[in-house]
Amino acid sequence: MQPTEPAPRKGRRIRNIVLGITGAFILLVIIANVTTSNSNGGGGSPSSAPQVTTPAASPAPSPTVAARRVLLRMSGSGIQNSAPFLVSSGTLTVRYSYDCSADGGSGNFIADIETGDQSSLDSDDQSVANALGSGGSAVTTVYPQDVGSMYHLAVNSECSWSVVVKQDG
């Protein structure tokens, strides 16, 4: 008589599939809650940027419309760094404007989106603008490499300026 292999038990296979799906769902809920709490309350306010506003969470858009969520709205003049904000998608849209008319008619506007420790080899620095002139405005797209990390906006300009950073929601 030859030994026979035991037939796989359907109950265990189904149980393992259900447990795997349930675990994945719970993990997604936890990640969504952490991301939401970090984007609404992460970081302090910068001491040199009195006109920075961080928007509150907005209701979820309909699934057919890709909404862009404002991560940062900042304006000022001179050298300033924003409060940190969480980047949770790989594409950011940045709208900026600058005006040098009060500063002799010409100046520069340099802006970067950076991770916190620029001395680290793992840091990320995405250029937003490097403009020279009397003023202007533009919309640019940047692609942060460290999705899920905290970034800040670094601005260097003698002119007055404003910047809005949005990400696809």
Residue 83: inside a domain = yes
Q: Are residues 82 and 34 located together in one domain of the fold?
A: no
At 45 the pLDDT is: 38
Range of the domain at 109: 68-168
Q: Which tokens belong to 31?
A: 């990640």
CATH code for the domain of 127: 2.60.120.200
How does strand 85-86 pair with strand 80-81?
unpaired
* Whether 32 and 115 share a structural domain: no
Count of structural domains, the chain: 2
Contact status, residue 111 vs residue 96, Cβ threshold 8 Å: yes
For residue 120, the one-letter residue type is S
pLDDT in tens, the chain (169 residues): 565 655 555 556 666 666 667 666 665 556 655 555 444 444 443 334 345 544 444 455 444 445 789 999 999 999 999 999 999 988 999 999 999 998 778 999 999 999 977 677 778 999 999 999 999 999 999 999 999 999 999 999 999 999 999 998 6
Residues 80 and 129 in one domain: yes
Residue 33 counted as domain residue: yes
Burial of 105-128, coded b for 16+ CB within 10 Å and e otherwise, reads: eebebbbbbbbeeeeeeeebebeb
Domain match, 120 and 161 both:
yes
**Are 97 and 137 contacting, i.e. CB atoms less than 8 angstroms apart?**
yes
What are 76's two structure tokens? 């000022």
